[in-house]
């Protein structure tokens, strides 16, 4: 209960429960409930649950027809910035949707109405690689496009893939290679990458925050939190994390057993970035990236916030450990660094074409500069 929003759910819910209830909640550091309890990770199966603690960041994990039934037939008994809690049986005198708490229920209501809120003919797919500034960009995009959904895992996508006419904006926390059969030629795929060493060190610091709940972690994040960084890098988890951007944009998540070489991953990632419908940018140019997307996708950009960031002081206790691991990291992520530098160069050209100096008119293929880069390699 290190997070105040999780703690608020526990505090509000416990007095309302009876021993016959079955609580279904996201996996986490919950104190014991006075009844049976089941936990979900990404895919949500209601089964025999009588109380659903619904994490609003995981709406894609539940089948939309099931959620519609629950929303219309169950009582809404609690809500805050992160959760909505619903009960199969009446628990309180008045449904919270008829109170000021409705503002916290709105994301679920909007999600169920997503098809009617569409503003675009084509879709935008945002690929969120962890620790690249992706949370800030995602929040900015979803404010512009209320018809949106976020898939935190490939399992979620495979269980509940989006209908073709359902969303303007789709967020992914995994490789976009799974999308080929779902996207049309007019859909866009966008995302950011970061200096590989900086991204990895930021991930390590994030995993070691005192405020984080290890119960919610993947096995890789848990190892990152508990192991010395040099030892972690020698594991399969560490090798994957050091090359996460390369495998995200160059790997095939549907064939994990077929492990390509780093050179094959680099070639595939560059080829992916060259597609006309793909726009990638370095995270340090996130505001410029927002401007380019606004031009291409016809919306008005605003300043990006700084969300889920690691302050410099948080790195201080780990600096000697990072220094000991630096040589290993740089050797492991050399191909990923080449991909990152490719994105930096190509985005510079894209930005110059989108915002030419006053009086200069440029009429050329956005992706022509990328071809010269590949030939040079």
The domains located in the chain, with CATH, are: 4-112 (no CATH), 118-376 (3.40.50.300)
- The closest of 125, 137, 252 to 193, measured between CA atoms, is 137
- The closest of 167, 126, 175 to 147, measured between CA atoms, is 167
What residues pair up with 278 in beta bridges, in sequence order? Answer: 189
Element (H, E) at 24: strand 22-26
Q: What is the mean pLDDT of residues 135-159?
A: 93
> What is the b/e burial string over 5-34, where b = at least 16 CB atoms within 10 angstroms of the residue's CB?
ebebbbebbeeebeeebbbbbbebebeebe
Cα separation, 131 vs 140, whole angstroms: 16
Per-residue pLDDT tens over the stretch 243-296: 999 999 998 866 665 678 999 999 999 999 999 999 999 999 999 999 999 988
Other beta carbons within 10 Å of 160: 20
Cα separation, 63 vs 282, whole angstroms: 35
3-state SS class at 54? strand
248: its two tokens: 């995200």
Cα separation, 174 vs 333, whole angstroms: 19
Q: What is the mean pLDDT of residues 141-147?
A: 93
The whole-number pLDDT of residue 372 equals 44
Q: Quick check: 271 and 288 in contact, CB under 8 A?
A: no
Q: Quick check: 186 and 122 in contact, CB under 8 A?
A: yes
Distances from the Cα of 89 to the Cα of 21, 73, 131, 209, 230, angstroms? 10, 9, 41, 38, 52
Q: Per DSSP, which regions of 27-92 are E strands?
A: 36-40, 51-55, 75-79, 83-87
Element (H, E) at 125: strand 124-127
Residue-averaged pLDDT of the chain: 89
The whole-number pLDDT of residue 308 equals 61
Q: What is the mean pLDDT of residues 349-370?
A: 64
Cα separation, 124 vs 183, whole angstroms: 10
Other beta carbons within 10 Å of 204: 24
For tokens 């269980």, what's the residue? Answer: 159
Q: Cα 339 to chain center, whole Å?
A: 21
Q: What is the mean pLDDT of residues 309-338?
A: 86
DSSP 202: H
Per-residue pLDDT tens over the stretch 89-122: 999 999 999 999 999 999 999 999 999 999 999 9
- With bands split at pLDDT 50, 70 and 90, how would you rate the model's confidence at 376? very low
3-state SS class at 55? strand
Cα separation, 368 vs 377, whole angstroms: 15
The whole-number pLDDT of residue 114 equals 96
- With bands split at pLDDT 50, 70 and 90, how would you rate the model's confidence at 363? very low
- The closest of 343, 350, 342 to 288, measured between CA atoms, is 350
- With bands split at pLDDT 50, 70 and 90, how would you rate the model's confidence at 366? very low
The HSE-up count of residue 125 (CA atoms within 13 Å, CB side) is 24
pLDDT higher than threshold 70 for residue 335: yes
β 51-55/75-79 pair status:
unpaired
Task: Name the strands in the sheet holding 124-127, side by side, starting at the edge strand that comes first in the sequence.
Answer: 148-151, 169-172, 124-127, 188-193, 278-282
> What is the b/e burial string over 268-288, where b = at least 16 CB atoms within 10 angstroms of the residue's CB?
bbbebbeeeebbbbbbebbeb
The whole-number pLDDT of residue 267 equals 96
pLDDT higher than threshold 70 for residue 370: no
Phi, psi of 13 (to 5 degrees): -85, -40
Cα separation, 229 vs 341, whole angstroms: 25
The whole-number pLDDT of residue 371 equals 46
Per-residue pLDDT tens over the stretch 9-44: 999 999 999 999 999 999 999 999 999 999 999 999
- The closest of 48, 99, 60, 57 to 78, measured between CA atoms, is 99
pLDDT higher than threshold 50 for residue 180: yes
Distances from the Cα of 114 to the Cα of 154, 206, 335, angstroms? 21, 32, 40
């Amino acid at each position: 209960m290190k997070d105040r929003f999780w703690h608020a759910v526990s505090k509000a819910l416990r007095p309302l429960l009876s021993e016959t209830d079955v609580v279904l909640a996201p996996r986490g550091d919950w104190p014991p409930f006075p009844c049976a309890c089941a936990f979900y990770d990404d895919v949500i199966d209601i089964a025999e649950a009588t109380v659903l603690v619904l994490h609003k960041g995981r709406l894609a994990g539940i089948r939309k027809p099931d959620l519609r039934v629950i929303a219309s037939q169950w009582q809404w008994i609690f809500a805050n910035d992160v959760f909505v809690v619903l009960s199969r049986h009446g628990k309180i005198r008045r449904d919270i949707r008829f109170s000021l708490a409705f503002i916290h229920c709105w994301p679920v209501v909007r999600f169920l109405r997503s098809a009617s809120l569409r503003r675009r003919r084509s879709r935008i797919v945002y690929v969120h690689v962890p620790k690249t500034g992706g949370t800030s960009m995602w929040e900015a995009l979803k404010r512009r496009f209320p018809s949106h959904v976020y898939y935190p895992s490939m399992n979620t996508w495979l269980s509940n893939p989006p209908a073709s006419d359902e969303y303007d904006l789709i967020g992914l926390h995994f490789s976009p290679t799974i999308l080929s059969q779902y996207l049309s030629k007019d859909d866009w795929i966008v995302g950011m990458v970061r200096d590989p060493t900086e991204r990895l060190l930021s991930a390590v610091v994030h995993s070691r925050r005192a405020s984080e709940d290890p119960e919610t972690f993947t096995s890789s994040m848990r190892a990152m939190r508990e192991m010395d960084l040099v030892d972690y890098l020698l594991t399969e988890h560490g090798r994957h994390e050091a090359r996460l951007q390369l495998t995200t944009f160059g790997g095939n998540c549907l064939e994990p057993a077929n492990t390509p070489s780093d050179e094959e991953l680099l070639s595939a990632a560059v080829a992916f970035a060259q597609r006309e419908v793909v726009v990638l940018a370095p995270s340090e140019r996130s505001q410029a990236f927002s401007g380019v997307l606004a031009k291409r996708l016809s919306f008005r950009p605003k300043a990006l916030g700084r969300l889920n960031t690691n302050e410099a002081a948080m790195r201080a206790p780990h600096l000697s450990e990072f220094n000991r691991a630096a040589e290993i990291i740089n050797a492991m992520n050399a191909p990923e660094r080449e991909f990152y530098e490719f994105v930096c160069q190509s985005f510079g050209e894209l930005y110059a074409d989108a915002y030419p100096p006053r009086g200069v008119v440029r009429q050329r293929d956005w992706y022509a500069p990328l071809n010269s880069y590949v030939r040079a390699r």
